[in-house]
Amino acid sequence: MEHDTTYTITIRGRDFLLTKSQIEFDSPNYFTSCFLGDFHEAETRHLKLSRDPDLFLIISDYLCGYEVFPLSHRVSPTRMSSALVLTNLRIDAAFYQLDGLFEKCDALIAGEPVEIKLKTQLQYLVVGCEYGHSDEASFEELMEIASKASIWSTRIAEDELTQEPLARMQKREAHTGFEGLRKRAAVERVAQKACSAELRLVGWHVKSSPTERADYIRSRLMIVLVEQSCIKAS
């Protein structure tokens, strides 16, 4: 299974690990410019800064999609008052170009209520493989063969589901009853080989092509899975 790329941020000698998904939260920002641009840090995946490491603990929680307000005294730097923590967090939000966090700090400093909004974010994973088989194999036999092939995986955006060939995939809800559920179970067994997390099946697409052998076929399987989570709306 493809893992999320990780980046190390060293702040006054303390190391923080961020994933690609985290640095892309509330982007574009300082981190996406450094790690996803043409800077040296894009190659080393390591960034050294002389900022406040205690404030960065709050920022790293924010980049995870967590709600960080109201600020807890347990995560606030002990040398700063509550008002000073909020002011300095706003300064760091500006430095890291985190517009969403900056606006929330601004609202709290101005005495405005900060509204916490949740939205559903659907993250899609495509699992695929290529395999050869006879033209007489049953669907379950084909999925068994596919499960032994070299499997790759990648994440996609929701709008990519409307592109070919996924726009023509077999939807899970179209397969009901005894035979339909058996098909779904067979596809899910293939997906489980590549996925450690519990993801829900969306559908699958199979493209088969003849070979020089009349009784032998090459097929390409793509399985779409979804993971649902709640994050703060920007």
> What tens-digit pLDDT sequence spans the chain (234 residues)?
456 789 999 999 999 999 999 999 999 999 999 999 888 888 999 999 999 999 999 999 999 998 888 887 777 777 788 778 899 999 999 999 999 999 999 988 888 655 544 445 567 889 999 999 988 889 999 999 999 999 998 888 888 899 999 999 999 999 999 999 999 999 999 988 877 667 889 999 999 998 888 778 999 999 999 875 544 444
Instruction: For residues 79 and 131, state if they share a domain.
Output: no
Residue 158: in which H helix or E strand, if any? none
Q: Residue 11 is encoded by which pair of tokens? A: 């702040």
Instruction: For residues 111 and 190, state if they share a domain.
Output: no
pLDDT of residue 69: 87
With beta carbons less than 8 A apart as the criterion, state whether 59 and 96 touch: yes
Instruction: For residues 174 and 192, state if they share a domain.
Output: yes
Residue 212 to residues 138, 141, 149, 215, Cα–Cα distance (Å): 21, 22, 21, 9
Shortest CA distance to 56 belongs to which of 104, 105, 106, 11?
11
CATH classification at residue 80: 3.30.710.10
pLDDT of residue 114: 52
Number of domains present in the structure of the chain: 2
Instruction: For residues 57 and 130, state if they share a domain.
Output: no
Last residue of a domain, one of 64, 95, 116: 116
Instruction: For residues 183 and 201, state if they share a domain.
Output: yes
Instruction: For residues 68 and 150, state if they share a domain.
Output: no
| Amino acid in the structure at residue 13 | G
pLDDT of residue 121: 58
Domain that holds residue 143: 119-232
Instruction: For residues 124 and 63, state if they share a domain.
Output: no
pLDDT of residue 90: 94
Residue at 167 is within a domain: yes
Last residue of a domain, one of 76, 95, 116: 116
Q: CB neighbours of 121 closer than 8 A, spacing ≥ 6?
A: 228, 229, 230, 231
Q: Residue 226 is encoded by which pair of tokens? A: 């979804």
Instruction: For residues 96 and 123, state if they share a domain.
Output: no
Global confidence as pTM:
0.48
What is the chain's length? 234
Instruction: For residues 112 and 134, state if they share a domain.
Output: no
Q: Is it true that the peptide bond before 28 is cis, omega within 30 degrees of 0?
A: yes
